[in-house]
């Protein structure tokens, strides 16, 4: 499984991260309030199961869209890869749909890193990563990843798991740090 690297540029990058939306013509749709909450994003990263291309097109009206493929994704150049690495300054952010299938975790719900996560990260992403973005559970979650990193799951803005609010992740990457915040919708 190869990886693709996207280099961020600037004095800080605002990233909106979405997953598990399953947008289909005769099915679920984005909640209208989501688009206002996405304003100001420099990049929208999708972590799979976004559904049809029309959903990605709608997000592209706000900011460039880049992501990884899940199980429910139409063929699209923006989400053709299984693994994505985002870099800015000293920070490396690894993106996958299913952390368990990728060998990074023993469990996704709750997230439990695999014993050989350092080696698997190097194989998948080309080196260690500071943040792992993953999906597939429809539940927002933040856990430890490695000695000083975080594993972040944005949940679903459209079809959250029972008992969970619709959500996405806002990630701010600057020279001073990489800061994530789960944004609840509605």
CB atoms within 10 A of CB 164: 16
Residues in the chain: 186
**pLDDT at res. 145:** 82
- Tokens representing 23? 């947008």
Whose tokens are 């993106």? That residue is 95
Residue 67 and residue 75: Cα distance in Å, rounded? 12
Q: 129-151, pLDDT tens digit by residue?
A: 999 999 999 999 999 887 668 99
**Cα 157–chain centre separation:** 12
Nearest to 19 by CA among 85, 130, 100, 98: 98
Residues whose CB falls within 8 Å of the CB of residue 170, separated by 6 or more in sequence, listed in order: 14, 15, 16, 17, 41, 180, 181, 183
Nearest to 182 by CA among 172, 174, 173, 170: 170
Assign 55 to helix, strand or coil: helix
Domains of the chain (ranges; CATH) run 4-162 (3.60.21.10)
High-pLDDT (> 70) share of the chain, %: 92
Nearest to 132 by CA among 87, 179, 90, 93: 93
Task: Confirm whether pTM is higher than 0.85.
Answer: yes
Q: 48-98, pLDDT tens digit by residue?
A: 999 999 999 999 999 999 999 999 999 999 999 999 999 877 889 999 999
């Amino acid at each position: 499984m190869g990886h693709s690297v996207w280099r961020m540029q600037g004095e800080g990058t605002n990233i909106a991260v979405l997953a598990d939306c399953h947008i289909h013509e005769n099915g679920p749709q984005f909640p209208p309030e989501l688009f206002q909450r996405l304003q100001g994003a420099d990049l929208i990263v999708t972590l799979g199961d976004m559904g049809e291309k029309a959903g990605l097109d709608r997000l592209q009206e706000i900011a460039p869209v880049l992501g990884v493929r899940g199980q429910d994704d139409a063929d699209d150049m923006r989400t053709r890869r299984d693994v994505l690495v985002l870099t800015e300054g000293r920070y490396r952010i690894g993106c996958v749909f299913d952390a368990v299938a990728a060998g990074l975790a023993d469990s996704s719900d709750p997230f439990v890193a695999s014993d050989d996560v350092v080696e698997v990260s190097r194989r998948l992403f080309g080196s260690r990563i500071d943040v792992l973005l993953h999906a597939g559970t429809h539940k927002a979650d933040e856990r430890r990843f490695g000695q000083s990193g975080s594993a972040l799951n944005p949940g679903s803005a459209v079809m959250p798991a029972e008992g969970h609010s619709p959500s996405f992740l806002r990630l701010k990457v600057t020279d001073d740090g990489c800061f994530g915040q789960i944004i609840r919708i509605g």
